[in-house]
Amino acid sequence: MNIIVCIKQVPGTSKVKVDPQTGVLIRDGIDSKMNPYDLYALETALKLREQYGGKVMVISMGPPQAVDVIKEAYLMGADDGILLSDKKFAGADVLATSYALSQGILQFKDFDLIITGKQTTDGDTAQVGPEIAEYLKIPHISNVIRIIKATDKYILLDMDLPEYTGTVKVLFPCLITVEKDIFQPRLPSYKKKIATMDRPIKILGIAHMDDKNEKNYGLAGSPTQVERIFPPDEKFDREIWTGSGESLAEKMTEKLKELKFI
């Protein structure tokens, strides 16, 4: 079974803030890591490979330094990787990102299954997986909580719905997005560090895609536009209480009584 996993490099901290006076974004450290939800996707792929054989390939889109996230996937056990990196991908929203990834996925020779994480920690939209599936014209299942079995034709799994869980059989090729905790992700192996040191990472741009029309990528291919960014609303009627722990506890009890919670 050939499996493609979509991964993303995200900021290591969520401490990006806006200075309320100047409107400038304040960046607290610039370390980055693999989106934590993608670890579950990659682990799912590695587990399936252990059981059924085949290859695990990873794909990411980002600036040149995002090769690190592909290397990290190699340390966990991925066989092959592509980084989509091109100045023309800049400013991509969900649609343009999904389109670029779907075009990148077509550059792998063949695949049965695509796995993505539930969402990213920087975008939090959970939309890229389903949009990739739409562009590739394959079915997708979101919120997969358990893989029951796979054959060469289909995969049997449990998915989470608002009021039910459903056991469904999906024919290959298909895309699934997996929930956190579907498997416990393994740690990167430092033995693999030496083994994968020379493993190539293909870096592809628009010139390598089937569709070379620049209008479909990056900002030009993005229907949504960010009109402005601003700090969360702080105009608010509030009381600020300070004092000793004891006096604060008393004050809270009084207020909770007054509001009839006690």
Q: How far is the CB of 113 from other proteins (least distance, A)?
A: 13
Contacting other proteins within 67-96 (CB under 8 A): 84-87, 89-95
Q: What does the block give as tokens for 216? A: 């479909």
How many residues touch other proteins under the rule CB under 8 A: the total is 111
Binds other proteins by CB under 8 A, chosen from 51, 167, 189, 213:
167
Binds other proteins by CB under 8 A, chosen from 51, 151, 213, 219:
219
Contacting other proteins within 128-157 (CB under 8 A): 128-131, 133-135, 139-143, 156
Nearer to other proteins, 50 or 237 (CB): 237
Nearer to other proteins, 177 or 196 (CB): 177
Dist. CA 92–CA 96, nearest whole Å: 5
Q: How far is the CB of 257 from other proteins (least distance, A)?
A: 6
Contacting other proteins within 93-112 (CB under 8 A): 93-95, 98
Residues 6+ apart with CB under 8 A from 209: 100, 103, 104, 106, 107
Q: How far is the CB of 138 from other proteins (least distance, A)?
A: 8
Could you count the other beta carbons within 10 Å of the beta carbon of residue 17?
Answer: 12
Binds other proteins by CB under 8 A, chosen from 25, 189, 193, 195:
25
Binds other proteins by CB under 8 A, chosen from 51, 149, 195, 241:
241
Nearer to other proteins, 104 or 196 (CB): 104
Task: Check binding of 65 to other proteins (CB under 8 A).
Answer: yes
Site string for other proteins, 184-213 (x = CB under 8 A): ------------------------------
Task: Check binding of 227 to other proteins (CB under 8 A).
Answer: yes
Nearer to other proteins, 79 or 106 (CB): 106
Residue type present at position 175: L
Q: How far is CA 132 from the centre of its chain?
A: 13
Nearer to other proteins, 20 or 189 (CB): 20
Binds other proteins by CB under 8 A, chosen from 22, 152, 198, 200:
22
Dist. CA 13–CA 120, nearest whole Å: 13
Strand order through the sheet with 80-84: 154-160, 140-150, 174-178, 113-117, 2-6, 55-61, 80-84, 202-204
Residue/partner pairs of 150-157 with CB below 8 Å, 24 or more apart: 150/1, 150/48, 150/51, 150/52, 150/113, 152/1, 152/112, 155/113
Q: How far is the CB of 154 from other proteins (least distance, A)?
A: 8
Q: How far is the CB of 194 from other proteins (least distance, A)?
A: 29
Q: Which residues of 96-114 are buried (b: 16+ CB within 10 A; e: fewer)?
A: bbbbbbbbbbeebeebbbb
Closest C-alpha to 123, from 196, 205, 226, 19? 226
